[in-house]
Chain A
Amino acid sequence: MRCCLRWCSGTQPGSVAMGDWKTITVPVLSSDSQNTFPYTSERKRSPTSMSSQVLRLSLPSSKSMHSFFSAFCTEENIEQSISYIDRELTTLGFPSIYAESKGKELNLVSMVNCMNELLVLQHKNLRAQEEIEIQHLKLGSDMDHLQNCYAKLKEQLELSKREIVGLQERDRQLQSKNRNLHQLLKNEKDEVQKLQNVISSRATQYNHDMKRKEREYNKLKERLHQLVMNKKDKKLAMEVLNYVGRADGKRGAWRTDKTEARNEEEMYKILLSDYEQRQKQLLLENTELKKVLQQMKKDIISLLPPQKQKPKERPEDGLVLSDQEEDIGELNKENMWELSCETVREQLTNSIRKQWRMLKNHVEKLDNQVSRGHSGALNAKDVISREDHELETEKLELEIQQCKEMIRTQQQLLQQQLTCDDDTTLLLQDCYLLEERERLQEEWRLFREQKKNFEKERKNFTEAAIRLGLERKAFEEDRGAWLKHQFLSMTADCKSENLTTPSAFLRNSDPDIRLVRSTSRQRRLPSVLSPTVSPEPCQISQYITQNSVASEKAAADNKPNLWVESDDKEETEECTKSWEDSGLGTLCRNLHMEQLP
């Protein structure tokens, strides 16, 4: 067993350094071959391994510790070990453990002190070691962390580098494409230019050729003209029956200088009149436009907020009057002059521009204020806050509602008033009257219709009655005839009897009938036949009915001729009263007259 001592390099006496721990191999007892060396020889270990080494150094296992302790000092080498320890302690700065400097007596006190010192030192060292270890651990973790960060950053750097490379590549490609396109464009432009040159050169060439050909053509024309004129065609003439008068009736005039001058004059007159007309139109347009501009100016001025008057004590400001008043003054001036001279025009346009600019500024200001108002921070008194604005609008809306209601109630009242108005009542009355009148008219119409119907019915009735009467007459005649016949037969049987007795009535009737007939004959038309023939009455009656019917048809004309007078005034009057217009009246009379007997 050997122990070799190797000193730490670079260490100061009494200090513990972390530096290169060189090995210190302490000679150990060879008997303990199985003992592990607590100190192993290695140079410049990594910190992590060093820490474990340090740990191992500081905390050897108890077992090895014991062996180590027994290995150092045995029964035999006590003296040497003590002297060695003393030497060590003195070199370390401790007082010697010997009682005297030469003797072999140990100073127990100093030994104990040394031991205590050594223990304290050991504790301190341990603490320091702990602290160092902790720090070491911390630093290790920091280092780990930093390494991780470093690795990540390196990765990122790699990525970005790759990206950059990619972008650069793309950029390069685009640039090359751009260059290509530029090149193409240039080529195209060049081509276009070339083509244009070609066109222009060809055009000049064509023009030149055209001119040449035209000259040739002109020469030909001239030649032809000469030839044609030289021929002196007799046929080249106009034959006309007689010359016609001029369209405007005037005679032709000779061409003289005067006429030329007159022509010029006329031409210029025409041109001048045209220009004058145009100028008039333009003037009108101008005045209208000026009016419009002035109107616009007034409107703009009215739109702008009233400008504050600059106090008159500051004439050096240069603005004695506000802009508006100045412009109003200008307005009046312009109205007075109404010239289209340069200065007035400029003034007008300048003032309009100024006003317009002011309006623009004003609008911009309002915009700003509105935007600021949205944000909420306002202190200016000109600006109305949003809530106030809303309140105002609400108030206005309420007012509007109230006004509307008022208007509605007023309208209703007005309506009511109208209904009680005199004029309307009159109108209404008129309406009622009109209604009534119309109703009456309707009723009249109905009445007339009914009247007509009644007339028709009466007519039919009278016809029937007439027919009946006639039939009755016929019957009576028949009866009379038959009775006569009977009487005759009877008288024939007894001739001595008085004729008149049995049929006084008949006799009476006979002459009466005859009388009636004769009288009626006088009154009747000659067409009426003789009454004596018996079968004829039927015919007569038929004829009469026919006649009467015919007369009825031609009632209007025949009426006064047929019947002169009426005997039975009562009945006929009745008839006539009720049937005035128709010829039925006459027939009625006829009927009644027939019924005389």
Chain B
Amino acid sequence: MNFSEPFKLSGLLGRFSPDGKCLASCVQHRLLVRDASSLQILHLYTCVDQIQYLEWSSDSLFILCAMYKRGIVQVWSLEQPDWHCKIDEGSTGLVASCWSPDGRHILNTTEFHLRITVWSLCTKSVSYIKYPKACQQGVAFTKDGRYMAVAERRDCKDFISIFVCRSWQLLRHFDTETQDLFGIEWAPNGCVLAVWDTCLEYKVLLYSLDGRLLSSYRAYEWPLGIKSISWSPSSQFLAIGSFDEKVRILNHVTWKKITEFEHPATIASKKTIVYKEVEKSPTVGTERLSFPPTRELASSLFSTQSKYDISQVPVSLQYIKPVADRANPKVGVGMLAFSADNCFLATKNGDFQIMSLSWHSSGDSMLLLSKDHFCVCYLEREEVK
């Protein structure tokens, strides 16, 4: 594996374009666009303030840079480098900003979630969405970009509005039976919307595109509830990861639980394969140390070889009991990822330091990113004849 030289980056803002040809990165208030294969700088843009958020438009023609402190969003074009666009929210402030799926509208969430403003790059029109809900995932677009669901809250009740993205017309507006809506997510087929409640209540509601409640699922009542939710790519399954360290899978025909997976602290099942990373760092005798250290010695001291051993079951995983009196405890299934062919589900339980978990589109390899490690896992699958 080859690595290029490191480039400066601020704010963890480095993004590949959706078509994969360019790489955008931010350094303070400058935006650099490089070619993805040669890493040569193609464009350099300067924004008015330190960039806090960066997003490519879906057709890879525009880049959005949001500066929350100043409340300004600047949009740059790759086709015409001298084209510019600046959206100033003024005193309403800016908390979040994102593209619409067609790549021509920008949705700005003002401070205190007062409203969401939809700025259009094509026309002079501006739309407002009032009372958006201040939650983790309050706005969700369907995969084909036709519809947008927005969670709202009025008079201490949760509502969902479904808009048609083409014209930003309101299609449906209905209330949900949640106490305090935590997140919404469309199924990949765009016909079912999953709505889940805050972690104080375990409740998942499934609404059809036209606003009808299809089903509701509740596993238990009092302990802390849902931590993460993920749809399978074929929309057949909905995986719910909860604070009781279990994953429950619902099926799309009956919306009832078909199976649940546990994450025990000690793995005792014979069918589980446990891979344990064993790091070998070479030991150096003290008499060989010299000052200043020679180049080979230095590189050998810091080169650790790692390999993976298959541990024999039963294996007990390191389990640190989280502090009981803090909010949002670091227990439970926090990350879920389905493979692209619906065959596998990867889950992360507990407080293992995994930042992200993603599958390759072919479904036979997976990427694990932790704070200072990076691991690629390959799956060898038997051919089904």
Contacts and interface: CB of A to CB of B under 8 A. Distances in A.
Interface of A: 196, 199, 203, 207, 210-211, 214-215, 218, 221, 224-225, 228, 231, 233, 235-248, 252-253, 255, 259-260, 263-264, 266-268, 270-271, 274, 278, 282
B262 interface: no
Contact of A225 (B82, B102, B114, B252): B114
Given A228-B91, A237-B88, A238-B86, A247 B114 contact: no
A221 B102 contact: no
30 contacts: A203-B200, A210-B156, A211-B156, A214-B153, A215-B156, A224-B114, A225-B115, A236-B88, A236-B89, A238-B86, A238-B87, A238-B126, A239-B85, A240-B75, A240-B84, A240-B86, A244-B104, A244-B121, A245-B122, A252-B167, A260-B169, A263-B171, A267-B164, A267-B171, A267-B209, A270-B209, A271-B191, A271-B210, A274-B189, A274-B191
A240 to B, nearest CB: 4
Contacts of B381: none
Nearest to B115: A225
B151 to A, nearest CB: 15
A236 B90 contact: yes
B112 A221 contact: yes
Given A243-B121, A244-B122, A231 B83 contact: no
Interface string B100-138: 001110000000111100010111111000000000000
A215 B156 CA distance: 7
A207 B91 contact: no
Size band of the interface chain B makes with A:
35 or more
Contacts of B119: 238
A270 B147 CA distance: 11
A253 B208 contact: no
Contacts of B233: none
Contact of A231 (B58, B91, B189): B91
A210 B112 CA distance: 17
Given A214-B156, A240-B121, A243-B121, A233 B90 contact: yes
A228 B104 CA distance: 27
A197 to B, nearest CB: 12
B266 interface: no
Contact of A247 (B103, B153, B191): B103
Contacts of B104: 244, 246-247
B10 to A, nearest CB: 26
Contacts of A237: 88
Contacts of A236: 88-92
A418 B93 CA distance: 94
Given A248-B102, A263-B164, A263-B171, 12 more contacts: A199-B222, A221-B112, A228-B91, A237-B88, A238-B88, A247-B59, A247-B102, A260-B169, A267-B147, A267-B171, A270-B146, A274-B190
Contacts of A211: 156
A235 B90 contact: yes
Contact of A259 (B112, B123, B169): B169
A243 B122 contact: yes
A118 to B, nearest CB: 108
B122 A246 contact: yes
A266 B169 CA distance: 13
B179 interface: yes
B92 A228 contact: yes
B383 to A, nearest CB: 23
Given A199-B222, A211-B156, A259-B169, A252 B122 contact: yes
B220 to A, nearest CB: 13
Contacts of A221: 112-114
Contacts of A240: 75, 84-86, 121
Contacts of B210: 267-268, 271
B188 to A, nearest CB: 11
A207 B121 CA distance: 42
Contacts of A264: 171
A196 B85 CA distance: 57
Interface string B336-360: 0000000000000000000000000
Contacts of A207: 179
Contacts of B58: 247
Contacts of B171: 263-264, 267
Contacts of A266: 146, 164
B122 A255 contact: no
B339 to A, nearest CB: 21
Contacts of B189: 274
Closest 9 CB pairs of A and B: A233-B90, A236-B90, A240-B85, A247-B102, A274-B191, A238-B87, A211-B156, A235-B90, A244-B121
A266 B190 CA distance: 13
Nearest to A203: B200
Contacts of A260: 169
B85 A241 contact: yes
Nearest to A244: B121
A225 B131 CA distance: 11
A228 B114 contact: yes
A263 B171 CA distance: 7
Nearest to B106: A238
B298 to A, nearest CB: 53
Contact of B190 (A231, A244, A270): A270
Contacts of B115: 225
Contacts of B103: 247
Nearest to A243: B122
B83 A263 contact: no
Contact of A243 (B91, B102, B124, B156): B124
Contacts of A282: 253
Contacts of A235: 88, 90
B123 A252 contact: yes
Contacts of B190: 270, 274
Most-contacted residue by chain A among B59, B77, B88, B119 (CB, 10 A): B88
A479 to B, nearest CB: 79
A246 B102 contact: yes
Nearest to A272: B191
Contacts of A252: 122-123, 125, 167
A382 to B, nearest CB: 43
Most-contacted residue by chain A among B115, B155, B167, B209 (CB, 10 A): B167
Nearest to B211: A267
Contacts of A246: 102, 104, 122
A574 to B, nearest CB: 71
A391 B36 CA distance: 81
Nearest to A277: B189
Interface string B155-171: 11000000010010101
Contact of A196 (B90, B102, B122, B222): B222
A228 B89 CA distance: 11
A242 B83 contact: yes
Interface string B51-83: 000000011001000000000000101000011
B46 to A, nearest CB: 16
A260 B122 CA distance: 21
A233 to B, nearest CB: 4
Interface in B146-198: 146-147, 153, 155-156, 164, 167, 169, 171, 179-180, 189-191
Contacts of A245: 122
Contacts of B164: 263, 266-267
Given A224-B114, A228-B91, A233-B91, A270 B191 contact: yes
Contacts of B208: 271
B222 A241 contact: no
A158 B52 CA distance: 96
Contacts of B86: 238-240
A162 to B, nearest CB: 50
Nearest to A214: B156
Contacts of B253: 278, 282
B169 A255 contact: yes
Contacts of B147: 267
Contacts of A271: 191, 208-210
Contacts of A278: 252-253
